[in-house]
Amino acid sequence: MSLFSSPSQHDPDPQKPLLNQAIEYHNQTKHGLTNYARGPHGLDWANQPNPFRRFLSSPIIPLSHFDSSSSVADPPLYSSVFLSLPSPSPISKSTISQLFFDSLALSAWKTTGFSTWSLRVNPSSGNLHPTEAYIVSPPINSVSNSPFVAHYAPKEHSLEIRTQIPSGFFPNFFPEGCFLIGFSSIFWREAWKYGERAFRYCNHDVGHAIAAVSMAAAGLGWDVKILDGFGYEDLKKLMGLEFYKEFEIPSRPVKGKFPEIEFEHPDCVLVVFPNGVGEFDVNYKELSLALSGFSELEWKGKPNVLSKQHVYWDVIYRTAEAVKKPLTLGNRFMVDPFQSSGVLSDPSYTRVLRLGKSLGSGRSAVDMDGVATMERETFYQMLLHCLPSGSQNGTKQRKQLALPFRALPWDAEVHAALFVHRVEGLPKGVYFLVRNEEHFNDLKKATRPEFNWEKPEGCPDDLPLYELSRGDCGKLAKQLSCHQDIAGDGCFSLGMVAHFEPTLRSKGAWMYPRLFWETGVLGQVLYLEAHAVGISATGIGCFFDDPVHEVLGLRGSNYQSLYHFTVGGPVVDKRIMSLPAYPGPVMDA
C-alpha cells in the first residue's frame, strides 16, 4: 500500500477496513504481563534521530527571549486563567515570541558525564520530541511584511520562513487578530526507541503540545480551537509538507533509508484568536479550495536528514494511513463561551505562581520519593481542573468548555481510574473520575459489580469523583505500569480510560489519534497542577493494557486504557547538572 493511497472506491463500506486497522493496531501494540509489543532489540545509538528538524537555507528570524522577570505583559496568576482570560494582546513579534517561549521552546539543558541533552517546555515520551510546529500568520512587523508560513525551530527559538501566502487568505476566512499553529509528527523519532507502540506516544505528545499552546495563549488573552473540519490533504498543503515522496509500506519491519528524508505526518491545525471575538464561521469548503493553491507557492528550505538509517515499523504507517481524516464540510466551527473550571473556596496552591513561570518550569520526575503526601483539598482542586467544564446549573459535564480542553471540538471521551496512595484525609484505594457524566451509568454497568461508586468524604458536589474500593494499591499500580516503582511511590497515579470502540464507530477511525490527544491534554494539566502545588508528575506510556481492564472489570473494547500518569514528590538526581536553555552549551557538530 502506498502511504498516500485511499480506500477502494468499490468498497461498500470504505470506513470498515479503516476502523478495523485502527482497532487491530491498538490490540497488536498492547503490552501484556508475559509479552510486550514489538520494539527494537536494544538502542541503535549510531542512528539516534536528531531531535531538531531544520529547513536548511530558509530565512531564519530569531525570536525574543524572556526570563522570570521579563515578559511582554504582566503575566496573570496561574490559577486565574482557569476562571477567565485576560484582555487580548495584539499579534506582534514579542507576543508570538512569548507564545512559543512558554509552550514549545527549550526549558533547560542537562548534563552528566559525557552526556548532554535538552529539555523542552512541552513534555515528550522518552524526551524524543516527534512533534514539529508551524505558524501561519498575517504580516508581523520585524518578522514578515507579507502573510507567511514558518517552521518553529526550538533549539534556536526562531522562525524559519517557508513561504509567503496570498494577502487575502486571512481577511477572507478569519476575523482580525487570528493566526494558525500547525502540528506534525515524525514517527521515526519515537519508533527508534519504542518500536510499533510509538504511534500511540506520538499522539500523546500532540495532545501535550495542544495544551501547552492553549495555556501559553491564555496568558496573552488568546483563545485556541482545533480546526477539525480540515482533512489530511488540507493540513499537508497548509504546512508545506507535500515534499514527501510516496513509498510503499513494507509488510514487516525492515531497516533501510527513507526515499529522501524522514516522513512527517500532519496532525492538526489550531486557530488562535482574541478572547472575546465572539462567534465566527469557518467555510471549510472555500478554505480547502484556497489551500489547493498553496501547492504552487515557492517553498523555501530543504529539511535536514535526522538519521542515516531507519527501521520502518510497517504497522505504524498502515495505521497512520487508515486514520487520516477527510475534509468534513458539515462540521460547523463553533466558538463556545469560556467556562471556568471549578475552584475550591480555600486556596490549594502552595505559592502565588505566575503563569509564565509555571508553564516553563515543569519537569518529569524520574523517581518518586514514596514519602510526600498531599492534602485532600489539594487533590480535589487538581481534579477539578481536569474536568472538561465547570458545573453549570446542575447540567451533566460533557462538552469541553474549560481551559485547556476547550481547544478540543468534541465531547469528553476520556476518564481517569485513580490509585490513591498518599492523600491526607482520603482512604487508600481505587477511585474513578467521570469526565463525561453521560457515560456514568454505562461505566457503572461495565465495571466490577462489587465497586462502591460512592462520593468520598468532603468531595465537592461538582466533582464527579467516586470511590470504587479501599485498600493499599501501591503494589498493584506498580505491577500494572510495567513494574515501575514510580507508579506506586507518588501521592496518586492514574490510568486514562477512553470511551473507545463506540467513539470510533460513531465518528470514524480518525478519532483514534484524537483520543490520545485528549489524554495528552489531560496529562499536561496534571504536569502544571503538580508544579503549582510544589510537587511533580510523570506520564507513563508503558503499562499492561488488558490487566488494567481486568482490575476494573472492563471487557471488550468499549473502554480502553490509553495513558498512565503519576503525581508525587520527586527524587532529585544530584549527579545531573542543569544549564540554561539559551544560548545553550556548545555542542560538537
**CATH number of the domain bearing residue 377:** 3.40.109.10
Burial class (CB in 10 A: 0-12, 13-18, 19+), 547: middle
- Over residues 482-505, the mean pLDDT reads 97
What integer pLDDT is reported at residue 398 of this predicted model? 73
Higher pLDDT, 360 or 249: 249
Query: Does residue 26 form part of some domain?
Result: no
Mean pLDDT, the chain, rounded, equals 90
Residues 278 and 227 in one domain: yes
Higher pLDDT, 243 or 115: 115
What integer pLDDT is reported at residue 138 of this predicted model? 98
Residues 236 and 382 in one domain: no
Residues 315 and 432 in one domain: no
DSSP 23-47: HHHHHHT-B-SS------SS--GGG
- Over residues 555-569, the mean pLDDT reads 97
Query: Does residue 183 form part of some domain?
Result: yes
Domain extent, residue 458, equals 355-568
Residues 180 and 318 in one domain: yes
What integer pLDDT is reported at residue 77 of this predicted model? 86
Opening angle at CA 130, ends 511 and 31, nearest 5: 65
Cell of 239: 504546512
Domain stop point among 331, 347, 364: 331
What integer pLDDT is reported at residue 14 of this predicted model? 75
Alpha carbon 346 to its chain centroid, in Å, reads 30
pLDDT band at 279 (very low <50, low <70, confident <90, very high): confident
- Over residues 125-141, the mean pLDDT reads 97
pLDDT single digits (tens) 99-110? 999 999 999 999
Query: Does residue 387 form part of some domain?
Result: yes
Whether residue 579 is predicted with pLDDT greater than 70 in this model: the reply is yes
Residues 288 and 399 in one domain: no
Residues 263 and 377 in one domain: no
Whether the pTM exceeds 0.75: the reply is: yes
Q: What percent of the chain has pLDDT over 90?
A: 75
pLDDT single digits (tens) 106-131? 999 999 888 899 999 999 999 999 99
Query: Does residue 8 form part of some domain?
Result: no
Question: Domain count of the chain?
Answer: 2
Instruction: Give every CB contact of residue 394 below 8 A, 6+ residues apart in sequence.
Output: none
Residues 380 and 239 in one domain: no
Ranges 67-76, 435-444, 573-582: which has the least confidence: 67-76
Query: Does residue 365 form part of some domain?
Result: yes
Residues 150 and 290 in one domain: yes
What integer pLDDT is reported at residue 361 of this predicted model? 60
Residues 321 and 363 in one domain: no
Torsions phi, psi for 551 (to 5 deg): -60, -40
Residues 397 and 326 in one domain: no
Largest CA distance in the chain: 65
Q: Which is nearest to 99 in space by CA: 163, 154, 161?
A: 154
Opening angle at CA 30, ends 27 and 564, nearest 5: 125
Whether residue 196 is predicted with pLDDT greater than 50 in this model: the reply is yes
Query: Does residue 350 form part of some domain?
Result: no
Whether residue 390 is predicted with pLDDT greater than 80 in this model: the reply is no
Query: Does residue 197 form part of some domain?
Result: yes
Query: Does residue 564 form part of some domain?
Result: yes
Instruction: Give every CB contact of residue 406 below 8 A, 6+ residues apart in sequence.
Output: 214, 223, 224, 225, 336, 338, 339, 400
Residues 505 and 382 in one domain: yes
Residues 205 and 67 in one domain: yes
- Over residues 19-30, the mean pLDDT reads 97
Cell of 277: 471575538
What integer pLDDT is reported at residue 311 of this predicted model? 86
